Structure 1
Amino acid sequence: RLLNRMVEDDPQAHFLAVVGPSGSGKSSVVKAGLLPALRHGRLPRSETWFFAEMSPGNHPMHELESALLSVATSPVHNLAQTLALDSKGLARAINQIVPQGHEMLLIIDQFEEVFTQVPQEAERAAFLASLQAAMNDPTCRLRVIITLRADFYDRPLMYEGFADLMRRRTEVVVPLTTSELEEAIIAPVRRLGIGVEPELLAAIIADISQEPGTLPLLQYALTEVFERREGNTLTLSAYQASGGALGALARRAQELYEAMDSDRQALVRQLFLRLVNIGDGTEDTRRRLSWEELTSFAGDGPDLQYVLDTFGKYRLLSFDRDPITRAPTVEIAHEALIREWVQLRDWLSSSREDVRMQRRLSNAATIWREADRNPGYLLGGAQLEEMESWAVTTDLALTDEERGFLAASIVARRAQEAREEARRRLREAQERRSRIRLQILVGVLAVVAGVTLGLSAFTLIRANNAEARAATATVALGQEQARAATLEAAAVRGENLAAEVYRSRLIALYAQQAAADGDEALALALAYAAVQIDGAPDEAWAQLAQLLDMPAGSDRPTLLAAAEAAEIRPLTCEERARYSVLPEC
């Protein structure tokens, strides 16, 4: 039937979706039935086709690249960029890889992983768009067959264009009938010269004919019976000893679990919770786990190796390698174990929300890493608060990447809070300074008047001339030139120390004025210049302390150290010229 669908008079006949319930034999009929037939030329020139297989995994575009490279007859440069360029990248890649006059068949098994394991919607949409564009291109020499669990049939229908492919090009695989089950049991062992007791045949069919996941259950049960066979016969007693088709997987898993100490049992729980994708209105499914993720939360010690070896020995776990990195992977060997092992069902029931939160954290951490740890991808707001509270209470082990991502999000939030607090304090300071702005201006005038009055009593003839200029400047040029003239008068008399004190006080008052005007950088630079003057008065030091948000009574070495740590900018030549009491550049 599948062969006939592939040669129908349909412009989209190069695509076929094989859909059926879990364990109905979708993968088997494609890989063990259709694929060998095509390799032997059942369709015109199909014996010359190129064949590749893949499962979508977490990054279907990477898996697609690996599948294409597996059939390339010569080096292919920049294949990843070609695929990612746009939706027509796959069609262009086929033209590069497949020699003229030949076709390629790509089998995508477990297509539901596109919707259960891909964390980024953009990558999922790009993958589906690439397949759709290639299938709608009449010149593209690519054929695609996907296998999809029936309970995920609605997911690809949500993508315009791909939904039309699914509507027109779907073939349904239903569970085996009783006669087909009998043939599936008897035929393989008959070729080995081994018989099957009629009672065994009846017991197996009665146990599994109405169960989901028929073929995986049958496979495991027959393997157990084969290992317990009596001579050249598979017997009912061996089947019963194994626990039967429904109980064999679960019984073996529970026996292995109970034989372990408490530390290893805890490790088994952490492992199997990571190996399951939580269904959202669908059945839970198995999940491939990379060695890097596994060892990051479980360590790489003898306990982990013992658990893997034990469950692997009895074919409850299967091991493979990532097609891109070649790093080891592990997954549950039979999806039926998720349904049948009561202990695992209990773990999933009690930890379901925990597992969902862990996957959300893991997906967010992956996106952050792939964005070169861009701070814009960190968690924030209510989402971070929720994740932070959960991490404190959960008993699920987290990977280094998950913990690091969460910690980075918390640090970023604290930094943001510190910046907001600094801005708040600055606003308050500016408001406070604005309220006393008039008082500061009055104080400036009072100090100038006091300085002028105090010096006038000791002025010599030359000083009198300078003070006269100061008086004229006060009227004609403003307060700043008056202060400068006053200091000049004091210098003429040789009262250098007094003049420096007044100069420091004036610069500190300029700093107050700059702060009141909202120019905090200039204010700090002026205040720092004021205390650099020998004999700087207490008012100058107090002004620096205020601008540094330090207690007014702070000792001078502490204030100087704080000023240096604040990296106060130097005064510019223009600013020095503006304030005549400052040394010129």
Structure 2
Amino acid sequence: MVRACEADPGEWEPWWKEAEAEVEGPPVADERGENPSYPGLARFEPDNRALFFCRDWLAEESRLLVSEHRFTGVFGASGSGKSSLLWAGGDPPPAGGDREPEGPAVLRVFTPGARPAETYGHLLAPDVGEPDIWVLVDQSEEVFTLCRDKDERTRFIDVLPAARDAGSRLRVLIAVRADFYAQCAERREQGDALRGAALLVGPMTADELREAVVRPAQVVGLLVEHELTARMWTRPLTSPVPCRCSRTRCWSHSAAAGAAS
């Protein structure tokens, strides 16, 4: 729509991000002072990992890819659950590989922002005696949308595939919106590194969506009415992203209403 109006998408992107951040704010406690079972449009955080269901196989596959390739990418449409996968999908395995384990791996998660190399470059180098570092870069498309300095962008992009170097103690997983897939190949080294080391996050199956709705309610002692779930599953899952975020927001209101009645 922005291009149709002959406007610059790059200029509008920060405003989209600001609006998105307002919508995806932290979950608000209910009237009982308890955090909701569903984060709605917000991502799942490490603190509510116990409520994150139906993506176990994706979390395990991403860990295997990072263990094998040391640098990998997760691609998917906006709202497909990439951020939740990174933030609440589980801890990395112990450090090791071709070396003796030195203890649990260090986990670092961040979004690039406007100055990724300047802000986070120090996080990409293990300190002396430190075990493997697992760096999870969420919303990596910000490297192209928010970072206006080409040299800054290049410095950050080039340091990530260096995780594949012999003796490196760095492992990197980037989450990227699918429409920025081509930009990830603009730097040859990064494009080569992602060949065979990328994971596509597609829409949920009916069973996965049912688990994402029903299981969080069970964790906090609530039940989702069978009639409601039956009506949901009769609708075809034709959306590119069967909107877990919006549907679980609806279920959050339904469950809260049920608990109050």
Q: TM-score range by the shorter chain?
A: 0.5 to 0.7
Structure 2 equivalent of residue 192 of structure 1: 220
1:555-566 superposed matches below 5 A: none
With over 3 angstroms needed to count, the CA separation of the structure-2 counterparts of 1:62 and 1:199, relative to structure 1, is farther
1:564-575 superposed matches below 5 A: none
Q: Which runs of 5+ in 2 are unaligned?
A: 1-60
Structure 1 equivalent of residue 148 of structure 2: 119
Partner Cα separation in structure 1 for residue 144 and residue 110 of structure 2: 15
| Offset of residue 163 of structure 1 | 0.8
Larger RCO, structures 1/2 (Cα 8 Å, 6+ apart) = 2
Structure 2 equivalent of residue 216 of structure 1: 245
With over 3 angstroms needed to count, the CA separation of the structure-2 counterparts of 1:184 and 1:46, relative to structure 1, is farther
Q: Which runs of 5+ in 1 are unaligned?
A: 69-89, 233-585
Q: Is the 8 A contact 1:208 1:217 kept in 2?
A: no
With over 3 angstroms needed to count, the CA separation of the structure-2 counterparts of 1:3 and 1:131, relative to structure 1, is closer
| Offset of residue 142 of structure 1 | 0.5
1:12-23 superposed matches below 5 A: 13-23=69-79
With over 3 angstroms needed to count, the CA separation of the structure-2 counterparts of 1:62 and 1:217, relative to structure 1, is farther
Partner Cα separation in structure 2 for residue 182 and residue 46 of structure 1: 40
With over 3 angstroms needed to count, the CA separation of the structure-2 counterparts of 1:61 and 1:7, relative to structure 1, is closer
Paired letter, 2:194: M
With over 3 angstroms needed to count, the CA separation of the structure-2 counterparts of 1:64 and 1:175, relative to structure 1, is same
Q: Is the 8 A contact 2:72 2:198 kept in 1?
A: yes
1:69-468 superposed matches below 5 A: 93-94=125-126, 97-100=127-130, 102-132=131-161, 134-205=162-233, 209-213=237-241, 214-231=243-260
Partner Cα separation in structure 2 for residue 139 and residue 195 of structure 1: 51
Partner Cα separation in structure 1 for residue 233 and residue 121 of structure 2: 42
With over 3 angstroms needed to count, the CA separation of the structure-2 counterparts of 1:184 and 1:106, relative to structure 1, is same
Partner Cα separation in structure 1 for residue 95 and residue 120 of structure 2: 26
- SS at structure 1 position matched to 2:73: strand
Q: Is the 8 A contact 2:75 2:177 kept in 1?
A: yes
| Offset of residue 164 of structure 1 | 0.5
Partner Cα separation in structure 2 for residue 177 and residue 127 of structure 1: 36
- SS at structure 2 position matched to 1:107: strand
| Offset of residue 43 of structure 1 | 7.8
| Offset of residue 195 of structure 1 | 0.9
| Offset of residue 174 of structure 1 | 1.2
With over 3 angstroms needed to count, the CA separation of the structure-2 counterparts of 1:130 and 1:5, relative to structure 1, is closer
Aligned Cα root-mean-square deviation (Å):
2.6
TM-score (norm 1): 0.31
| Offset of residue 128 of structure 1 | 0.7
Paired letter, 1:180: E
Q: Is the 8 A contact 1:23 1:212 kept in 2?
A: no
Structure 2 equivalent of residue 63 of structure 1: 119
| Offset of residue 139 of structure 1 | 1.6
- SS at structure 2 position matched to 1:155: helix
Paired letter, 1:99: G
With over 3 angstroms needed to count, the CA separation of the structure-2 counterparts of 1:152 and 1:179, relative to structure 1, is same
1:33-44 superposed matches below 5 A: 33=89, 35-36=90-91, 38=92, 41=94
With over 3 angstroms needed to count, the CA separation of the structure-2 counterparts of 1:223 and 1:136, relative to structure 1, is same
Q: Which has the higher helix share?
A: 1
TM-score (norm 2): 0.67
- SS at structure 1 position matched to 2:204: coil
Partner Cα separation in structure 2 for residue 110 and residue 204 of structure 1: 30
With over 3 angstroms needed to count, the CA separation of the structure-2 counterparts of 1:185 and 1:125, relative to structure 1, is same
Q: Is the 8 A contact 1:56 1:111 kept in 2?
A: yes
Partner Cα separation in structure 1 for residue 217 and residue 185 of structure 2: 41
With over 3 angstroms needed to count, the CA separation of the structure-2 counterparts of 1:156 and 1:146, relative to structure 1, is same
With over 3 angstroms needed to count, the CA separation of the structure-2 counterparts of 1:47 and 1:218, relative to structure 1, is farther
With over 3 angstroms needed to count, the CA separation of the structure-2 counterparts of 1:154 and 1:225, relative to structure 1, is same
Q: Is the 8 A contact 2:138 2:176 kept in 1?
A: yes
Structure 2 equivalent of residue 564 of structure 1: none
2:60 corresponds to 1:4: no
- SS at structure 2 position matched to 1:163: helix
With over 3 angstroms needed to count, the CA separation of the structure-2 counterparts of 1:144 and 1:164, relative to structure 1, is same
Counterpart selection for 2:108 from 24, 28, 52: 52
